[in-house]
């Protein structure tokens, strides 16, 4: 039976995530209400604009349901999703779900024209759970993880900073794996379910 992944579809590049998880062999659906969380095995919080997402999450009464989901089931946050899952957010500080022991600095790599595509070498633990080789990482106005708590495992880094981390049932990428044809990060997340 296919794993059913929900992609929070309030704002951001949720359609690319749906397609990337279908390529990885999952059933992927868009999630816009708290009741739809009951129908999925894992949740993706996509990239986009974290302040706008927060406003929409409050407007749709989704803050507490998503927080409760993250306490019980796997969640994968990319870019803005990484910001929303971190315990501490800077530049400027803002509200978050606070479920992963990280400090994340918003837009730390610079403006839109500072966006880049690079290849990163994942650690041995990532490689032991997926196929070998570097990961293509697309950074778009990406945040930087400035502090990692003792329970957080760094799976890959770039320019001296963690860019792919996990803590318990939560996986975080500061880049956009959904914008490449490589499905190993999605497969890693599916392995948590």
Positions marked active-site: 79, 176, 178
Burial code (b: 16+ CB inside 10 Å, e: under 16) for 50-80 equals beebbebbeeeebbebbbebbeebbbbbbbb
Residue 184 has φ and ψ, to the nearest 5°, of -65, -35
- Give the C-alpha separation, 148 to 48, whole Å: 23
- Give the C-alpha separation, 166 to 172, whole Å: 6
């Amino acid at each position: 039976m296919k794993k059913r992944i929900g992609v929070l579809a309030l704002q951001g590049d949720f359609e690319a995530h749906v397609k990337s998880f279908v390529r990885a062999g999952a059933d992927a659906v868009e999630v816009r209400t708290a009741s739809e969380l009951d129908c999925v095995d894992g949740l993706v919080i996509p990239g986009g604009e974290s302040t706008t997402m927060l406003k929409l999450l409050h407007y749709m009464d989704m803050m507490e349901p998503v927080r409760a989901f993250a306490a019980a089931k796997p969640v994968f946050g990319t870019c803005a999703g990484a910001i929303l899952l971190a315990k501490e957010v800077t530049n400027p500080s803002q509200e978050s779900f606070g479920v992963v022991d990280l400090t994340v600095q918003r837009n730390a790599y610079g403006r839109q024209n500072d966006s880049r595509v690079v290849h990163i070498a994942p650690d041995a633990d990532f490689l032991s759970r997926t196929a070998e080789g570097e990961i293509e990482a697309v950074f778009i106005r990406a945040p930087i993880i400035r502090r990692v708590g003792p329970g957080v495992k760094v799976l890959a880094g770039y320019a001296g900073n963690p860019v792919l981390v996990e803590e318990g049932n939560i996986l975080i990428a500061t880049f956009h794996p959904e914008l490449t044809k490589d499905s190993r990060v999605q497969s890693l997340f599916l392995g948590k379910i």
